Amino acid sequence: MSETSTTHATTLLSGKTCVVMGVQNRWSIAWQIAEAMANAGANVAITYVDDRAKKNAEQLAGTVPGMKTFVCDVSSDEAIAALAGELKAEYGSIDTLVHSIAFAPADELKNPFLQTTRDGFRLAHEISVYSLIAVARELSPIMNEFGSIMTLTYLGSTRAFPKYNVMGVAKAALEASVRYLALDLGEKGIRVNAISAGPVKTASARGIPGFSDMANAAAEKAPLGKVFGPQHVAGTAVYLATDASAGITGDVIFVDGGYHAMGM
């Protein structure tokens, strides 16, 4: 951890069970969050998409005592239902669900937005947006009261960034879904929020042709651009999992070193 990293008392999340979806490798935001939650005392489960990601996920989980791995491809309703069943069998109930999953076909991020295809639009929204609704519906029945659901979004939802394209439209729909899910799940005492992260070098980020420009602009213009890092995103995820954030729902919390707040 760097000297600017956020450290958490090991008791902040003790007694809580946190499920973090979307670990591809050690650079994944999901992994940063899973590790931070475990360091804060949580019992953590991570999910990965397929056999290719399995080895990484198992190796990473092996570094944290008690951490378990589960497979879940969110394009399948059966896989999501199976995950809910496996989590219930393993833990009985859970407290936190982190959705750190997105996908868009490469061509949709390479071509001009005007060339967005019907299939590309559908797939980006199915994996990056609908999946949050589906996992919230299947997993909320096993969530404890005052549970916390969170997802990862980006400023491209409200501002146009070159090459972010259909993913920006999907993030706008994701943020709207957060508000509607917060409305539905509030009566069960479950909170739903999004963390709008600044640029973090991950496998998905490398798939966005304009990523370096986005990252350079953020590093240069954000008040905290030089120090911002994934550890700060993970720190906010820990906060959203604690009871200290029990009054926050339907919100988008920016963790981008302040970039979103600047005029130029």
Query: Which is nearer to ligand NAD, 8 or 171 (by Cβ)?
Result: 171
Rounded Cα–Cα distance for residues 103 and 92 (Å): 30
Binding mask 131-170 for ligand NAD (x = CB under 6 A): ---------------------xxx----------------
Rounded Cα–Cα distance for residues 193 and 244 (Å): 14
Residues catalogued as catalytic? 154, 164
Select from 46, 98, 181, 197 the one that contacts ligand NAD (CB under 6 A).
197
Instruction: Provide the 10 A C-beta neighbour count for residue 50.
Output: 10
Binding mask 67-96 for ligand NAD (x = CB under 6 A): -----xxxx---------------------
Question: What contacts 258, CB < 8 A, 6 or more positions away?
Answer: 222, 223, 224, 225
Say how far residue 237 (Cα) sits from the centre of its chain: 9
Q: Which of these, 178, 210, 206, 213, lies nearest to 193 by C-alpha position? A: 178
CB of 189 to ligand NAD, least distance (A): 25
Binders of ligand NAD among 29-58, rule CB under 6 A? 29-30, 49, 53
Q: What is the largest CA-CA distance in the chain?
A: 51
Query: Which is nearer to ligand NAD, 91 or 103 (by Cβ)?
Result: 103
- By CB under 6 A, name the binding residues for ligand NAD: 22-24, 28-30, 49, 53, 72-75, 100-103, 127, 152-154, 197, 199-200, 202-205
